Structure 1
């Protein structure tokens, strides 16, 4: 869905328009009746998402493969000598 607003209205209600854009709506700002600017949600690039997912999966796999350490439980007093 596209919402069209004037530049003056966009100036007054910018926070509201940002929330609309974040929810997926496209906002077109006009000046003297002509479309000038489009406000849309920023989408993370697919390759960047894939890289982050791969890094997270590698970290999770590594942490799951390490044996749990049986360390003694520490109290707050143990940190002060």
Structure 2
């Protein structure tokens, strides 16, 4: 989830915003209506939860696979 805050609010609530970022949210900081910065979590190589979420997001963007495609892949390279 992404939330947007103005610069003054970001200054006042920086600790709270960082806690939200640590929980996986992104924070956009804007000056007026113009976004100027994005706070996002830095993924650690050992952060398995973040990796799983990335894979789930990628799978959600992928088109569905048909049964015929799966069978074709299963038999790919086989000689009959």
TM range (shorter): 0.5 to 0.7
Distance 1:4 1:32 in 2: 11
State how 1:1-81 maps to structure 2 within 5 Å. 1-45=1-45, 49=46
What stretches of structure 2 of length at least 5 have no aligned partner? 47-80
Distance 1:32 1:3 in 2: 15
What stretches of structure 1 of length at least 5 have no aligned partner? 50-81
List 4+ stretches of structure 1 deviating above 3 A.
none
- CA-based RMSD: 1.0
Distance 1:22 1:40 in 2: 8
Distance 2:22 2:44 in 1: 13
Q: Deviations over 1:17-75 (max 9, x none)?
A: 00000000000000121000000111124xxx5xxxxxxxxxxxxxxxxxxxxxxxxxx
| Partner in structure 2 of residue 76 of structure 1 | none
Instruction: Calculate the TM-score normalised by the size of structure 2.
Output: 0.54
Instruction: Calculate the TM-score normalised by the size of structure 1.
Output: 0.54
Q: Which has the larger radius of gyration?
A: 1
Equivalences, count:
46
